[in-house]
């Protein structure tokens, strides 16, 4: 490897370059280590992996959008059989490419053979999903149970995620299965499952969320694709806590029961998160509990002169308590 920095520039990260020189002089780093680290710090060697990933992602997005528009605008001119065959062949080509390059199946984490692998797999799965949707739309194979094509797509994505060890495909599978039950996985569950949400949607969210959380626990406990745990658990907690929260915010007759259920579940999630050292799960439980408790604060102050200001002040005080809990939990997790 050649040494030296980028042409016409000084150090990319002068602090790290200076530190490497000192660590080498004090024999903390060997000469070989220091040379490699200094070369990267001086921008003599630069990784463009992120840029390659971004190009692949944008390419997949554009390509699938183009196919979608083609089908939408020209399906009558081209003919349904040609379209279905064309998309299926393209999907098969992508999946064949993936199958030929994939490492043998393992329950442990498998390193991708190349940076493009995940994206070609993603493209193949999306085209396959589009083909399924199109065939169902044109030929009504499933009849009145047309929505089951989402279940089929979700299961195919799930199988692909396990076979080719892709957390991206797993995320897509979980979101597609949620879509089959009429749910959107979003970062703001209260917004999507908020006012006006149907009771069956809420029940679906809670059931599916519990199922995903259970799958996360099983993945970790059995050591079968244990690294899928965080994808399962994140999606599951969004649905589970979002469903319970929508009950607190939206069900005016039984909101108190929903509140108890939410606090119990959120407390359990936070306790488990503390034990396992998972900050994201702890955050999900805490935020859900805080939002639910803020709703309670507004109930006794519906009328009167300070109907708005007192609950807001109490919400601020409650926030201070929650802030204390955050500091305590962080200290405890760091200690572990």
35, 49, 222, 260: residue in contact with other proteins (rule CB under 8 A): 49
The answer to whether residue 272 forms part of the interface with other proteins (CB under 8 A) is: no
The SS3 call for residue 259 is: helix
Give the Cα separation of 120 and 200 in Å (integer).
36
84, 98, 127, 156: residue in contact with other proteins (rule CB under 8 A): 127
Cβ atoms 238, 287 nearer than 8 A: no
Q: How far is the CB of 270 from other proteins (least distance, A)?
A: 12
Going by the DSSP 8-state scheme, the letter that residue 170 receives in this structure is H
Per CB under 8 A, the segment of 55-63, 98-106, 211-219, 259-267 that binds other proteins is 55-63
Q: How far is the CB of 214 from other proteins (least distance, A)?
A: 20
Question: Among residues 115 and 260, whose Cβ is nearest to other proteins?
Answer: 115
Alpha helices by DSSP H, 79-198: 80-101, 117-139, 148-163, 167-180, 189-192
24, 37, 226, 272: residue in contact with other proteins (rule CB under 8 A): 37
63, 110, 152, 226: residue in contact with other proteins (rule CB under 8 A): 63
List the one residue out of 211, 300, 204, 216 whose CA is nearest residue 247: 204
65, 79, 221, 332: residue in contact with other proteins (rule CB under 8 A): 65
Residues present in the chain in total: 336
Question: Among residues 260 and 319, whose Cβ is nearest to other proteins?
Answer: 319
Total chain residues near other proteins (CB under 8 A) = 124
The widest CA-to-CA distance across the chain, in whole angstroms, is 76
What six digits make up the tokens of 238? 């969004």
- 212-271 positions binding other proteins, by CB under 8 A: 230-231
Cβ atoms 17, 47 nearer than 8 A: no
Question: Among residues 81 and 323, whose Cβ is nearest to other proteins?
Answer: 323
114, 221, 275, 299: residue in contact with other proteins (rule CB under 8 A): 114
93, 152, 201, 217: residue in contact with other proteins (rule CB under 8 A): 201
- 152-171 positions binding other proteins, by CB under 8 A: 153, 167-168, 171
- 168-197 positions binding other proteins, by CB under 8 A: 168, 171-172, 174-176, 178-187
Q: How far is the CB of 265 from other proteins (least distance, A)?
A: 18
110, 152, 287, 296: residue in contact with other proteins (rule CB under 8 A): 287
Residues 6-45: b if buried by 16+ CB within 10 A, e if exposed: eeeeeeeeeeebebbeeebeeeebeeeebebbbbebbbbe
Q: Please classify residue 301 by burial: count the beta carbons closer than 10 Å to its beta carbon, then call 0-12 exposed, 13-18 middle and 19+ buried.
A: middle
Question: Among residues 183 and 206, whose Cβ is nearest to other proteins?
Answer: 183
84, 95, 98, 134: residue in contact with other proteins (rule CB under 8 A): 134
The answer to whether residue 47 forms part of the interface with other proteins (CB under 8 A) is: yes
Cβ atoms 325, 270 nearer than 8 A: no
The answer to whether residue 115 forms part of the interface with other proteins (CB under 8 A) is: yes
110, 211, 296, 315: residue in contact with other proteins (rule CB under 8 A): 315
Alpha carbons within 13 A on the beta-carbon side of 79:
4
Cβ atoms 173, 158 nearer than 8 A: yes
Cβ atoms 275, 333 nearer than 8 A: no
Q: How far is the CB of 112 from other proteins (least distance, A)?
A: 9
């Amino acid at each position: 490897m050649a040494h030296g920095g980028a042409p016409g520039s000084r150090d990319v990260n002068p602090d790290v370059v200076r530190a490497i020189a000192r660590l080498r002089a004090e024999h903390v780093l060997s000469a070989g280590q220091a040379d490699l680290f200094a070369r990267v710090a001086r921008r003599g060697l630069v990784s463009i992996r992120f840029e390659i990933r971004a190009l692949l992602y944008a390419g997949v997005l554009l390509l699938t959008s183009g196919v979608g528009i083609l089908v939408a605008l020209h399906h009558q001119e081209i003919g349904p059989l040609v379209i279905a065959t064309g998309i299926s062949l393209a999907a098969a080509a992508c999946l064949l490419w993936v199958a030929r390059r994939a490492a043998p199946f393992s329950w442990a984490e498998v390193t991708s053979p190349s940076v493009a692998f995940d994206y070609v797999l993603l493209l193949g799965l999306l085209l396959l999903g589009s083909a399924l949707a199109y065939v169902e739309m044109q030929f009504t194979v499933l009849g009145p149970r047309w929505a089951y094509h989402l279940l089929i797509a979700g299961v195919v994505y799930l199988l692909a995620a396990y076979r080719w060890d892709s957390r991206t495909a797993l995320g897509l599978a979980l979101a597609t299965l949620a879509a089959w039950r009429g749910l959107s996985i979003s970062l703001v569950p209260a917004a999507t499952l908020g006012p006006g949400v149907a009771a069956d949607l809420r029940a679906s969210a809670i059931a599916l969320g519990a199922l995903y959380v259970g799958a996360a626990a099983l993945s970790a406990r059995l050591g079968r694709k244990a690294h899928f745990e965080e994808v399962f658990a994140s999606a599951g907690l969004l649905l589970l806590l979002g469903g319970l929260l929508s009950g607190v915010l939206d069900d005016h007759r039984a909101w108190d029961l929903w509140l108890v259920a939410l606090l119990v579940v959120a407390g359990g999630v936070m306790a488990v998160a503390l034990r396992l050292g998972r900050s994201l799960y702890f955050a999900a439980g805490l935020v859900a509990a805080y939002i639910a408790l803020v709703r309670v604060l507004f109930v006794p102050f519906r009328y009167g002169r300070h109907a708005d200001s007192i609950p807001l002040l109490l919400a601020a005080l409650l926030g201070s308590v929650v802030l204390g809990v955050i500091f305590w939990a962080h200290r405890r997790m760091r200690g572990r």
